[in-house]
Structure 1
Amino acid sequence: MTERASPSGWLEQSRRKLDGTALAPQAEAVGRVAHVADGIARITGLPDTVLGALLRFEGGQLGFAHGLGAEQIDAVILDETSAVEAGQAVTDTGEVLRVPGGEALLGRIVDPLGRPLDGGPPLETEQTLPVERPAPAIIDRAHVSEPVQTGLLVVDGLFALGRGQRELIVGDRATGKTSLAVDAIVNQTDTDVVCVYVAVGQPASAVERVIAAVHAHGRAERCIFVVGAAASAPGLQWIAPFAGMTMAEHFRDRGGHAMIVIDDLTRHAATHRELALLTREPPGREAYPGDIFYLHARLLERAAKLAPEKGGGSLTALPIAETDAGNLSAYIPTNLISITDGQIVLSAHLFAANQRPAVDVGLSVSRVGGKAQSPALREVSGRVRLQYAQFQELEMFTRFGGITNDRVRNQIERGRRIRALLTQPRYTGLRVADQVALLAGLTDGALDALAPEKIPRLRERLPGWLDAREPEAVRAVEESGTLAPEMRAALVDAVAALASEVDGGEGAAG
């Protein structure tokens, strides 16, 4: 009989195993579900649980502590709530909500917990990071000075975006807010910017259209899609913006550049109000809880341009908010406007008039502005916004009768050409050189003889025309971002020649 088979040998072997095992008491906090309804579970028996702690229910479902009381805690369930029942055991994992971060997320569609939704393999990421992270300190930030090109003339020329800026996109329903943000994502195809699109409470069909557009016109392999759709649990919708921000911060903190689109924060605020009312928090204005401002402030403050000693990375935020009947003074829009560094306001009236993007030039503003704009663009776009605003006022008065003053008539004709230039089809992003050439040609009169309805044809042909006629000027503007006088003259002459050709050879503008 061998030593293992004999009773004495088995006893000796067991003793050796016990001697090599560190025996110590282990405590595990276990509570019980007292009540569950509407995605909220009230739990007893977890007195030491902290706010935001990750909880695991008996059936494997996850949740997090949203409200702490003297006798019980309110937990938001992140999975299917039908499987959670009263009496089930709940374990405090000792962790907070965390999401994966790393290169493996690029090109993937995930839920706010980082679980794949695209049918692909499980994620194998470098690390996991907390969903709630502190914003960079003021001392760790740098000035916003590098531009983020959206390819849209109305944005890049009049309301420049900078790397590390937070620019709100706000407007009524179905005015092109998501379309503008998707155009900005598509235009990062040839840049080093990683894009994160976060859907909060959006219909699945709308999310599918966005993903399909990025796949068709951009580089989806450089994007991350975080989906907390309308059919998702409210808890998933609530953490979606924070999860997306954490995923984007991974690239910023390593010296890279990222841009996050949150679509949209109005629905996120409604979800926060829903959870607050279900957990019996005191309601405030419009039934929103008192911390609604802090909720979005701590989220958007995480977008920043880091100082060189911190790697010099940047995270640009494009949050979206929806208004009702153009009411910018509503509670949530005013909160977000006060937090962000400017807003791009979309008008239902302009959208109905077929001006796309329907950007209201008078109400939109960028508080970073020219500091982050290409010097060449800043030089040629100086008076365009003022001229367009004056034209909009004058056009309103022309409805009451004819204009006899030549100076006013010329202003109106110039304004119509500006409007035609700013109207731009989707997925037709312009290079900086193209935008500079168009605005320089407008300012120097190269488009004065061209009818406004022919300007879209000129804009469509311009990139190829400039590459063939003035490749050195294009290269100089794209590489240096500056515009020498001789380069400006060359670009204006090229625009004038193209305008003459588009116009059928009649009335070449000088």
Structure 2
Amino acid sequence: MAREAVEKTATSTSLAALAGLVERYANPDFAIAPGGHVQTISPGHYTVSGLSRHVRLGDFVAHKSTTGTHLGEVVRVEPERVVVCPIEPGDPIGIHDVVIRKGAFRIAPTDNWCGRTINALAEPIDGLGPLLQGDIRRSIANTAPPSMTRKRVEQGFRTGVRAIDIFSPLCLGQRLGIFAGSGVGKSTLLSMLARADAFDKVVIALVGERGREVREFIEDTLGDNLSKSVAVVATSDESPMLRKMAPLTAVTIAEHYRDKGDNVLLIVDSVTRFAHAIREVATAAGEPPIARGYPASVFTELPRLLERA
């Protein structure tokens, strides 16, 4: 009887363990993440062996070091290694550290993000507590809607800036570029547009701004309009990866509000610094410049961002 009891106990334990494995692997949120090891380290990037068959360009990886887990983006894939640019500057990286594939970077915006200031990783930086997460997670590397599915630019609106309304009236769905030298009022003009009553939501990407100017723009320039605005900030001292991600995070948030039926004003200040960030990342990955010091990826990434707008 004792032997039968032991056999029954062992059998039930094995079945319970097997049921746990089945439940774990059947969970769609669970995925076996392939891993590799750091091979070489350079100032702007590091290489990883063992991931070439499992990652694609633009995938994110998690580098595990003695101080925690740090994110990086795959910028080049070779048969025996992949090149990764770290997201945060100064991450401690050591030879043979473990690197795990994470996939595309995704965020889950909600209406509760209005009035908040976040970084390029969709983390709050305003000291107002954690961000609530939405039900749908969106990749920041989405593609633009097909051209034949878009509405025509026909419906005009009043900006409240008389010079624009009289001499250069704008329409919903239109893109507008503001070009001028430094210190002549581009950001001030953008803030005047953000006060227009035609928009339900305003999403602002501050790319490469001076740190002292961020609070001035949000608190003084936006003022009461902050309640319907989301600010995505990547200051000039942050890594080029974060400055590259900030406009992509902002346009993904704007797409969420657009899909809900809101009229959204998307402000990217500035696209020039976004192009500079792409150049820094591409140069670190070994991509040669082809026109005025810019590599080919700049002329690929810019249309993708602008068409999504």
Native 8 Å contact 1:39 1:81 kept in 2: no
Larger Rg: 1
TM superposition shift of 1:192: 4.2
Task: Kindly provide the amino acid, as one letter, of the partner of residue 163 in structure 1.
Answer: L
1:301 paired residue number: 307
2:218 paired residue number: 211
**Residues 39, 14 of structure 1: alpha-carbon distance in 2 compared, 3 angstrom cutoff:** same
SS state at 1:197 partner: strand
2:262 paired residue number: 256
**For 2:17 and 2:44, how far apart are their aligned partners in 1?**
45
Q: Does 1:224 align with 2:233?
A: no
**For 1:69 and 1:8, how far apart are their aligned partners in 2?**
52
Native 8 Å contact 1:186 1:214 kept in 2: no
Native 8 Å contact 2:158 2:165 kept in 1: yes
Native 8 Å contact 1:99 1:112 kept in 2: no
Native 8 Å contact 2:191 2:222 kept in 1: no
**Residues 108, 286 of structure 1: alpha-carbon distance in 2 compared, 3 angstrom cutoff:** same
TM superposition shift of 1:221: 1.3
TM superposition shift of 1:22: 4.2
**For 1:164 and 1:157, how far apart are their aligned partners in 2?**
19
Q: Does 1:159 align with 2:168?
A: yes
Native 8 Å contact 1:214 1:220 kept in 2: no
**Residues 273, 16 of structure 1: alpha-carbon distance in 2 compared, 3 angstrom cutoff:** closer
TM superposition shift of 1:205: 1.1
1:34 paired residue number: 39
Query: What is the aligned-residue identity percentage?
Result: 25
**For 1:105 and 1:214, how far apart are their aligned partners in 2?**
19
**For 2:73 and 2:18, how far apart are their aligned partners in 1?**
39
**For 1:101 and 1:261, how far apart are their aligned partners in 2?**
17
Q: Does 1:114 align with 2:122?
A: yes
**For 2:265 and 2:301, how far apart are their aligned partners in 1?**
20
Native 8 Å contact 2:199 2:263 kept in 1: yes
Q: Does 1:246 align with 2:245?
A: no
TM superposition shift of 1:174: 0.7
**For 2:304 and 2:117, how far apart are their aligned partners in 1?**
25
* 1:416-435 deviation per Cα after TM superposition (whole angstroms, max 9, x unaligned): xxxxxxxxxxxxxxxxxxxx
1:60 paired residue number: 69
**Residues 148, 32 of structure 1: alpha-carbon distance in 2 compared, 3 angstrom cutoff:** farther
1:47 paired residue number: 52
Structure holding more strand per residue: 2
Native 8 Å contact 1:111 1:117 kept in 2: yes
The within-5 A match list for 1:119-138 is 119-126=127-134, 127-138=136-147
SS state at 1:169 partner: coil
Q: Which moved more, 1:36-45 or 1:153-162?
A: 36-45
SS state at 2:295 partner: coil
TM superposition shift of 1:36: 2.8
SS state at 2:100 partner: strand
**Residues 25, 182 of structure 1: alpha-carbon distance in 2 compared, 3 angstrom cutoff:** closer
SS state at 1:135 partner: coil
* 1:226-279 deviation per Cα after TM superposition (whole angstroms, max 9, x unaligned): 001112121110111111001000011122110111111111111111111111
**Residues 16, 264 of structure 1: alpha-carbon distance in 2 compared, 3 angstrom cutoff:** same
**For 2:56 and 2:232, how far apart are their aligned partners in 1?**
26
1:270 paired residue number: 276
Unpaired runs of 5+ residues, structure 1, are 304-510
**For 2:222 and 2:212, how far apart are their aligned partners in 1?**
15
Task: Kindly provide the amino acid, as one letter, of the partner of residue 41 in structure 2.
Answer: V
Task: Kindly provide the amino acid, as one letter, of the partner of residue 118 in structure 1.
Answer: D
Task: Kindly provide the amino acid, as one letter, of the partner of residue 210 in structure 2.
Answer: P
RMSD: 2.3
Native 8 Å contact 1:61 1:80 kept in 2: no
Structure holding more helix per residue: 1
TM superposition shift of 1:115: 0.6
2:28 paired residue number: none
2:108 to 100, 123, 138: 100
* 1:178-231 deviation per Cα after TM superposition (whole angstroms, max 9, x unaligned): 11001111234xx44210110111111111111012453x32110000001112
SS state at 2:180 partner: strand
**For 2:226 and 2:107, how far apart are their aligned partners in 1?**
20
Task: Kindly provide the amino acid, as one letter, of the partner of residue 246 in structure 2.
Answer: A
Task: Kindly provide the amino acid, as one letter, of the partner of residue 114 in structure 1.
Answer: A
**For 1:150 and 1:204, how far apart are their aligned partners in 2?**
28
2:79 paired residue number: 70
* 1:49-81 deviation per Cα after TM superposition (whole angstroms, max 9, x unaligned): 111111111131111111222322111211243
Q: Does 1:172 align with 2:177?
A: no
Native 8 Å contact 1:33 1:90 kept in 2: yes
**For 2:297 and 2:11, how far apart are their aligned partners in 1?**
63
TM-score by length of 2: 0.88
TM-score by length of 1: 0.55
1:184 paired residue number: 193
**For 1:259 and 1:192, how far apart are their aligned partners in 2?**
6
SS state at 2:75 partner: strand
SS state at 2:187 partner: helix
Structure 1 residue ranges (4+ consecutive) displaced by more than 3 angstroms after TM superposition: 6-13, 21-28
Task: Kindly provide the amino acid, as one letter, of the partner of residue 195 in structure 2.
Answer: V
1:480 paired residue number: none
Q: How many pairs were matched up? A: 295
